[in-house]
Structure 1
């Protein structure tokens, strides 16, 4: 008989879940006439426990960008530690000085940042930035937004071989994200 055992398992599982829900609701009640104390308004730190370490986000973004490339049969990008360091410093600078842009308030762009760190010869370079306030899915949100933007998508799928990602967490909880793409 097809599906007999599976059908009984589904019914048993459904009944089990329904009963456990009834037990939870029956145990979580209010006594009539009980006095409720006002709840303190949550502070902005209430979700700090959910924040991801910037280094972990950097790696996850790197992996997701390569996943987007693989879906289109493009070669993966190689992680470049120096590019990541340059990207991280730019993200930290944006977070510290509260600006968001490819060019710093001092007029320094990605090409200048590369030259300052000894990278002067390359075929092509590009940079993606994101300012992300999502504490739960910061990587997914960032990649989705980049892939919806023609310029950012072009960088992700472009003719690059190397990349570095830098993430900084600002005091207010925002993630500043920089990804540099390069081909030598």
Structure 2
């Protein structure tokens, strides 16, 4: 076997492993959607659907907090959750937002949200129909991991 073929075989071997592992691991947004919908089902609420506009707003807010080292529902530019979701294209004005920082896994984040009244009330609000999820990790930032969950209902929803 030539050195080139041996190198190619080794590269193929090592590159296939992580790809197979990644395929078996559900994405964080699917994990959070599942956790949220399981809790909602237990409370008699309909499931939420992932919404790209809400996710864009959530990801943007998580990144804003991570890169600017703050933790708040008010963005660094003074924006509020409804303003961020509108700017991302979401048509609804019935919006809820949960944020968390400093927790490395979505399971811990979700447990903390369910342990606090305001966060739990958002998750179990049967009027919400859509969900957006954002996560940012910036090593060296104050909290490291920043999470945002946006919940919404479009007009007539």
Pairwise TM-score range, normalised by the shorter structure: 0.7 to 0.9
* Residue equivalent to 1:79: 50
* Residue equivalent to 2:3: none
* Residue equivalent to 2:122: 155
Q: Give the deviation of 1:58 after TM superposition.
A: 2.3
- Choose which of 82, 86, 92 in structure 2 pairs with 1:111: 82
Unaligned runs of 5+ in 2: 1-21
- Distance in 1 separating the partners of 2:138 and 2:29: 15
* Residue equivalent to 1:171: 139
* Residue equivalent to 1:34: none
Task: Classify 1:113/1:123 alpha carbon distance in 2 versus 1 (closer, same or farther; 3 Å).
Answer: closer
- Distance in 2 separating the partners of 1:118 and 1:73: 29
Task: Classify 1:147/1:133 alpha carbon distance in 2 versus 1 (closer, same or farther; 3 Å).
Answer: closer
- Contact 2:100–2:146 (CA<8 Å) still a contact in 1? yes
Unaligned runs of 5+ in 1: 1-51
Q: Give the deviation of 1:123 after TM superposition.
A: 5.0
Structure having the higher Rg: 1
Q: Give the deviation of 1:97 after TM superposition.
A: 0.6
Cα RMSD after superposing both structures: 1.9
> Which of structure 1's runs of 4+ aligned residues deviate more than 4 A?
none
* Residue equivalent to 2:10: none
**Are 1:69 and 2:37 counterparts?**
no
* Residue equivalent to 1:131: 101
- Contact 2:62–2:148 (CA<8 Å) still a contact in 1? yes
